[in-house]
Structure 1
Amino acid sequence: MSSIIQLLPDHVANQIAAGEVVQRPASVVKELLENSVDAGSTDIKLIVKDAGKTLIQVIDNGKGMNVTDSRLCFERHATSKIRHAEDLFALATKGFRGEALASIAAIAHVEMKTKQEQEELGTHIVIEGSKFVSQDVAVLPKGTSFSVKNLFFNIPARRNFLKSDTVEFRHIVDEFERVALAHPNISFVLYHNGSEMFNLPMANQRQRIVGIFGGRTNEKLVPVNESTEIVQIQGFAVKPEFAKKSRGEQFFFVNNRFIKSGYLHHAVMAAYEGLLKDGCQPGYFIYLEVPPNTIDINIHPTKTEIKFDDEHALYAILRSSVKHSLGQFNVAPVLDFERDANLDTPYTYEGKEAILPTVNVDRNFNPFADEKPVKTSGASSSSTYASPAFRKTDRSASWESLYTGLTTATDETEGIDFEKDEVTGSLFNDGDVEQTIHRTYQIHKKYIVSPIKSGMVIIDQKRAHQRILYEQFLKNITVQQGASQQLLFPLVLHYNKTELDLIKEMQAALENTGFVFSEIKEDQIVVSGLPVNTPESEVSILLEELINDLQQEVPDSSFSQTDSIAKSMARSLAVKTGTLLSEKEQDNMVNSLFACKEPDVSPFNKPTFITVSVEDLDKRFAI
């Protein structure tokens, strides 16, 4: 019987490895940028076309490779970072498994140009789908230029799974930001479709954060510094008043490597306890330095998760250091047991005795006396006059005299007919008694119950309002007739460059819903008009959630950007669960819902109402 187990060919094995290493264009960007950092580069350029689907090029001025290394680097598990298994627990570099370049070359057209400083000529290699097309000698500058063209050209199924250019470019920017934040001593430049998106010169940590997220970020940051035997912590926490609904500006770096850790995130959230609004997420940029032998990096294919030897101690140190920084800079409320200097006794009163107050009593004072008492003769200088109360002398009339004459005044008005506000009857003879009956009821500030002929309908007020607003915004954007209310004082909102590009992209659609942008600058926008019934306090939250939805692409598939904008705005402005509605508001919501084209479901394909028939109720009461 022939054997059924056999070794896979190299090109098949490389494509399987690519499934783990290269998930999208951003994965290629991450691997190439990290290789440039490991090469000792001080200047790195990233050039992207069509969100990386057409071209990803990384140019650096690192140490480069010789002819042998430039050919060997595309082999599987070929690396210069480790020699022995023990080296895995003392890593100080980014890539170390030797899978990245082989995986990328298996699914794209790759062109590499590299030259070492001491060499006169460099090497130019072209690979297509793991096949070496050419290898030539060329005149090149010092460093390496790596171009990846037509990603997933030989795996069309994987290419079809890629999202829109907006979403894929957002992932590329995320990877670019993570590498740039981890290495402020390296200058980075990012070009997309010929336009410069980022130009980050060498700087310190704070300047690099401000360079990426905008000038207004500087005032939001609170320094965090702590040094122990277990870990050294540096970085910044964002003030609670600048917390956002999304989890965007949250970065952990361990030994200059970006990681994701829900455990450490919980430690930071615990430090912010009591300072954040419901549903808000704090921003932070935390840099951790730990001994390399106390962590295991090789537990995840993307190396974004790390196993720590002593997580509990790290949790406690991180939580206390962030909380200490928030309190130190008067961000968090603290108990101050120091006494106020203004309340201290002056030193000049140290030898003096306290003077007791004297109480003078006029023993001749009689509140029931008719006349004002006179000053007694021979009284001391400390005696006082009686109170001037009851100065009137004609006190013979009793209090009953105040009410004399009221009976005669009442008698004079007996013949006068006054107009009354009482409603004696209905305006129409055939008045319906049901007009005075409540047609809708609100239950637990969440559901609206309305009777129908066959029973009753129970409506989810939040989902129903989402459907109403969604169709309204969709109509306004399509017809381009959105009503707007002008602001007396325009709103000035600040965003980074990536977010501003998204706002410019959807500016026309937003203006059709009622927004009026009077000015859009490099790091801010000026809003002078809002859609009708949009609270001014909700504008920043609405735009923030809209940007986040477009970056991550709203779930349940949106067929266009217009649809995405309408969905996001409807979700942000809809009535929240727990809002008390008046009877008129309930009736209006019921009528508006059933006037929609698709009242059965919300914009996110969830039911808006259910019906309960009288037969169902009878069955529940049946014995």
Structure 2
Amino acid sequence: PASVVKELMENAIDAQAKNIHVLVTDAGRTCIQVIDDGKGMSETDARLSFERHATSKIHQAVDLFALRTMGFRGEALASIAAVAQVELKTRLETEEVGTRIVVAGSKVETQETISCPIGSSFSVRNLFFNIPARRKFLKPNETEDSNIRVEFERIALVHPDIAFFLHSNDSEVLNLPVSSLRQRIVSVFRKKLNEQLLAVKVDTTMVTISGFIGKPEFSRKRGARQYFFVNRRYMRHPYFHKAVVSAYEQIIPAGEQISYFLYFELEPDTIDVNIHPAKTEIKFENERFIWKILAAAVKESLGKFNVSIDFDMEGLPDIPVFNPQNSIESPKINYGEKFNPFKTSEPEPVYLHSKTTDWKNLYDGLEKPSFNEEEYALYPNEPFIEKGTQHLQLKGRFILTSVKSGLMFIDQHRAHIRILFDRYLKQIQCRQVLNNEDMVNLVDSLFACQTPNRTPDGHTVLSTIREEYIEKLFK
């Protein structure tokens, strides 16, 4: 059923229809009707349209290499008429009456002149009525309805200048009036999709690529809308899909998908659509170059419109825009004629040869002991560190303080070790020893710890020697 809908809709598009109505009953088992307001057919063409390999879309073999129509084989109507009961009503704009033809199982049952509107109306009833085994293997109605909608959407997405209407069991499913491409995409799927799309546009001598791609923040695990169209024809192309995915590397999580609707326009003689019965696989003459153009176009759109990318323009030079009308002047060089590179600004030294009478002043300050903190510092070359006034504690381990140059982090544990080390070093330098009270306080504080025998680094703090070992030392 979905293939029947696809072929009949493509015929209506080739007939330059502006309004196409698709009516489906029982998922296409009972009836599929496609009505258009295109050019229509004459009585002779209407009769010949059901013959195999009969088509009015190409006139010579060379036309196969420059296809601009959706159909060209002349097999669709003949194949449909072979397995169903088909009724055709058609009329040309220049004719006052039309033609009605009924074909069942490839046999013409009725051909008559009737009154009907301009265009064509195909009714396909009782699909596979003469092949019960094939009809038995039709999928459930829900699946067939879904397949019909997929084919309907693929054609509607690439023709926003045509109004499409889809009805299923007398209920309207889709109503797509003539609109812009972006509005057509939003109408087919959902309104929320509008805010997720980024425009893509690149025009080269080889190919023109336009359409929309999804924003990185709207990636999903499954269910992404991914469509390629070439010369208004839907296609599947894994190679071009990799070009789009490569542009999103390290932007979206691995394994997630992104939606895109990309339209290719190029010369028909550079592609071959006649390599698969469904016409969904297309061979390109310049496939590798188009891959690079596509990848560059997607990356450019992401760089232009993705708000998460921040370009720091501060401090960049102001590059003027080139104007070919302005005359080009050579740069002027200004220099000082009196400039001497060997002349220094320092005053010349003055040498005094007079004898110094106040010789005692030469020894002033020698009797006073000078004190230099760097001689006693642990790290003499360490630069001066600023000290802040406001302090905050982070996770019970770090102290944050603001200084003039920025923000300072202090490790509490290491700071405490540094303070104790300086105290101990000062006591050694001053040759101070602990009195009895200090020793008692030190031992009490040590045994108040959870592990007094080990340091946090695993070193031994205290060890016990038995009395018999002490006695052995004095024997």
**TM-score range normalised by the length of the shorter chain:** 0.5 to 0.7
Q: For residue 9 of structure 2, what is the aligned residue in structure 1? A: 33
> In structure 1, how many angstroms separate the alpha carbons of the residues matched to 2:307 and 2:240?
21
Distance 1:400 1:162, change over 3 A: farther
Spell out the pairing of 1:529-540 with structure 2 (5 A cutoff).
Answer: none
Q: Residues 78-477 of structure 1 correspond to what in structure 2 (within 5 A)?
A: 78-246=54-222, 248-330=224-306, 333=309, 336=311, 338-339=313-314, 401-402=437-438, 404=440
Query: In 2, distance between residues paired with 1:47 and 1:331?
Result: 44
Q: How far apart in 2 are the matches of 1:175 and 1:48?
A: 13
Q: Give the TM-score normalised by the residue count of structure 2.
A: 0.67
Q: CA separation of 1:55/1:405 partners in 2, compared to 1, >3 Å: closer, same or farther?
A: same
Residues 326 and 332 in structure 1, CA contact (< 8 A), matched pair in contact too: no
Distance in 2 between residues matched to 1:324 and 1:399, nearest whole Å: 77
Q: Secondary structure at the match of 1:219?
A: helix
| Cα distance in 1 for residues equivalent to 2:7 and 2:276 | 14
2: CA distance, partners of 1:398 / 1:71? 120
Deviation at 1:241, TM superposition (A): 2.1
More off after superposition, 35-44 vs 245-254: 245-254
Cα deviation code 1:33-78 (max 9, x no counterpart): 0000011111111111111121111111111111111111101111
- Kindly tell me: are residues 39 and 287 of structure 1, through their superposed partners in 2, closer, same or farther at Cα, counting changes over 3 Å? same
> Once the 2 structures are TM-superposed, how far is the Cα of residue 95 of structure 1 from its aligned partner?
0.5
One-letter code aligned to 1:101 = L
Q: Please, which moves more after superposition, 155-164 or 83-92?
A: 155-164
Would the alpha carbon gap of residues 406 and 149 (structure 1) be closer, same or farther in structure 2, given more than 3 Å must change? same
What's the CA shift for 1:408?
Answer: 10
Structure 1 distance, partners of 2:30, 2:251, is 46
Cα separation, 2, equivalents of 1:181 and 1:406 = 84
Contact 2:224 2:258 in 1 (8 A): no
Find the counterpart in structure 2 of residue 560 from structure 1: none
- The change in CA–CA distance for 1:364 and 1:321 in structure 2 (over 3 A counts) is same
Indicate conservation of the 8 Å contact 2:19/2:37, yes or no: yes
Task: Specify whether residues 364 and 59 from structure 1 end up closer, same or farther in structure 2 by C-alpha distance, changes over 3 A only.
Answer: same
Structure 2 residue matching 1:59: 3-state secondary structure:
strand
**Separation of aligned partners in 1, 2:445 and 2:106:** 113
Report the alpha carbon displacement of residue 83 of structure 1 after superposing the two structures with TM.
0.9
Distance 1:214 1:181 in 2: 13
Show the 5 A alignment for 1:502-521: none
How many angstroms does 1:238 deviate by?
0.8
Question: 1:250–1:283: 8 Å Cα contact kept in structure 2?
Answer: yes
Which of residues 29, 41, 44 in structure 2 aligns to 1:68? 44
Contact 1:250 1:284 in 2 (8 A): yes
Contact 1:230 1:290 in 2 (8 A): yes
Report if the CA contact (8 A) 2:24-2:31 is conserved: yes
Partner of 1:53: 29
Aligned to 2:344: none
- The 3 A distance-change label for structure 1 pair 123 and 227 is same
Secondary structure of 2:144's aligned partner: helix
Partners of 1:148 and 1:159 in 2: CA distance: 14
Q: Cα offset for 1:31?
A: 0.2
In structure 2, distance between residues paired with 1:400 and 1:303:
100
Aligned counterparts of 2:195 and 2:63: Cα–Cα separation in 1: 42
- After TM superposition, the score normalised by the length of structure 1 is 0.51
**Structure 1 stretches of 5 or more lacking a match?**
1-24, 342-362, 367-389, 391-395, 411-623
**How far 1:323 sits from its partner (Å)?**
1.0
Whether the 8 Å contact between 1:108 and 1:128 is mirrored in structure 2 is yes
Match of 1:547 in 2: none
Deviation at 1:244, TM superposition (A): 2.6
Distance 1:152 1:331, change over 3 A: farther
Name the amino acid aligned to 2:200. V
Aligned to 1:546: none
- CA shift, 1:118, in A, is 1.9
Give the match's secondary structure for 1:47: strand
- Give per-residue Cα distances to partners, 1:510-531, cap 9 Å, x unaligned: xxxxxxxxxxxxxxxxxxxxxx
Contact 1:63/1:142, CA 8 A, preserved across alignment: yes
Residues 188-221 of structure 1, C-alpha deviation per residue, up to 9 Å, x if partnerless? 0111111111100101110100001111000110
Secondary structure of residue in 2 paired with 1:198? strand
What code does the residue aligned with 1:204 have?
A: S
What one-letter code is carried by the residue in structure 2 that aligns with 1:401? E
Aligned 8 A contact 2:215 2:306 in 1: no
Change (3 A) 1:364 1:26: same
List per-residue Cα deviations over 1:509-557 (Å, max 9, x = no partner): xxxxxxxxxxxxxxxxxxxxxxxxxxxxxxxxxxxxxxxxxxxxxxxxx
Residue 200 of structure 2: SS of its match in structure 1?
strand
Q: Give 1 or 2 for the bigger CA radius of gyration.
A: 2
> In the alignment, is the contact (CA less than 8 A) between 1:239 and 1:331 conserved in 2?
no
Write the deviation string for residues 152-196 of structure 1: whole angstroms up to 9, x where unpaired. Answer: 111122222222111111111111011001100000011111111
- Runs of 5+ consecutive residues of structure 2 not aligned to the other structure: 317-369, 374-422, 424-431, 447-475
